[in-house]
């Protein structure tokens, strides 16, 4: 059993009634590779984690599947997330895409399947990798599919009927793009996974999602370093290094990471921090409710210093997927094209 989160929920239940553990383990290793993923997941499961967050694009489905099988924990007791790769946004590719993920995971279904970003890429050789421009090494965007993401969602809905995905949701969708999904959806997204931490609290997105019973799951809940190609504000310190976070941690006898995670869960947001360190994994499960005044201190940080996003793909893809004023991409070519 997962250790109790003192005075905080162990699980959240979105609009489809399916229970999602409040604390999960993120598995994206970025530029560090996947050599330690299997052992990290086995360690996490042994400590009580029951929520494993993966994606086809992470390239570690086999490691996740092997760790789950070797853990000896019944499949139905583990909540597994995967994500639709951006080269497979064409509705004709959907079942093949999920089948490939399930094959890697050695599973018959995933508990949650997310559209991995709203924009789509052209596929490269053998339809397995992203096609890149020979001139500048940038990914080749499929502008048509990037604008037709509501149709991508409609195809995802069929995966629920097949039983291969118990819940479906969105990854890094803003309010504008989510509204377009809701206009055509027969199945309301159960989840939006987004970058959320004390420097980027996303109060508006959280409030909007709550109106529709959509659970927010925070990736990069401690800040985090995405791969260099899509890294925003690379020289800025993490929230865990903020003196006010450190002061709150000292007063509560917690680590700065525990403060950031407790703050999120206290808001009703699930978290999927990454770690391969046994002690950090253990600490990330041991969360406590922050006193109201200290919660407010953490909650005000983004107002005092301004919001800070550590994931910034704009320079890499040529448009801003987080633009709330225009549904980007607007043009049919890259600025450098």
User: Which residues are paired to 114 by β-bridges?
Assistant: 83, 169
Size of the chain in residues = 337
The CA distances from residue 184 to 9, 152, 181, 208, 325, in Å, are: 32, 11, 6, 17, 20
User: Which residues are paired to 6 by β-bridges?
Assistant: 288
Catalytic annotation on 149?
no
The CA distances from residue 45 to 52, 67, 172, 315, 317, in Å, are: 9, 9, 27, 37, 36
Tell how strand 51-53 and strand 25-26 pair up. Answer: parallel
Which token pair is 315? Answer: 């320079």
Rounded to 10 degrees, what is the CA torsion of 288, 294, 296, 299?
-70
Beta strands in 57-133, from DSSP E residues, in sequence order: 79-84, 112-116
CA gap 289, 304 in Å, rounded: 23
Residue 74, burial from CB neighbour count under 10 angstroms (0-12, 13-18, 19+): exposed
DSSP 236: S
From 49, 58, 113, 199, the catalytic residue: 58
Q: Which positions are catalytic?
A: 58
């Amino acid at each position: 059993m997962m250790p109790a989160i003192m005075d905080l929920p162990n699980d959240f239940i979105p609009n489809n009634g399916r229970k999602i553990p409040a604390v999960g383990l993120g598995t994206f290793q970025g530029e560090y590779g996947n050599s330690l993923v299997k052992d990290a997941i086995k360690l996490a499961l042994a400590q009580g984690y029951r929520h494993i967050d993966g994606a086809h694009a992470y390239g570690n489905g086999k490691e996740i599947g092997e760790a789950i099988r070797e853990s000896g924990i019944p499949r139905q007791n583990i909540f597994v997330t995967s994500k639709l790769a951006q080269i497979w946004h064409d509705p004709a590719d959907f079942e093949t895409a999920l089948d490939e993920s399930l094959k890697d995971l050695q599973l018959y279904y995933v508990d949650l399947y997310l559209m991995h970003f709203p924009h789509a890429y052209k596929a490269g050789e053998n339809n397995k990798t992203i096609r890149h421009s020979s001139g500048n090494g940038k990914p080749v965007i499929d502008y048509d599919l990037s604008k037709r993401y509501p149709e991508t969602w409609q195809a995802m809905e069929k995966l629920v009927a097949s039983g291969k995905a118990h819940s479906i949701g969105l990854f890094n969708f803003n309010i504008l793009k989510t509204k377009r999904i809701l206009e055509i959806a027969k199945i309301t997204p159960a989840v939006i996974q987004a970058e959320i931490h004390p420097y980027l609290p996303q109060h508006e997105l959280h409030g909007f999602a709550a109106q529709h019973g959509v659970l927010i799951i925070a990736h990069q809940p401690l800040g985090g370093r995405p791969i260099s190609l899509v890294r925003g504000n690379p020289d800025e310190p993490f929230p865990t290094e903020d003196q006010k976070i450190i002061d709150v941690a000292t007063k509560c006898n917690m680590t700065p990471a525990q403060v950031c995670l407790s703050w999120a869960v206290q808001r009703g947001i699930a978290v999927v921090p990454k770690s391969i360190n046994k002690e950090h994994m253990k600490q990330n499960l041991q969360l406590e409710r922050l006193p109201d005044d200290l919660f407010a201190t953490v909650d005000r940080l983004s107002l005092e210093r301004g919001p800070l996003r550590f994931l910034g793909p704009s320079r890499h893809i040529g448009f801003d997927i987080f633009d709330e004023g225009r549904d980007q991409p607007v043009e049919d070519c890259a600025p450098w094209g």
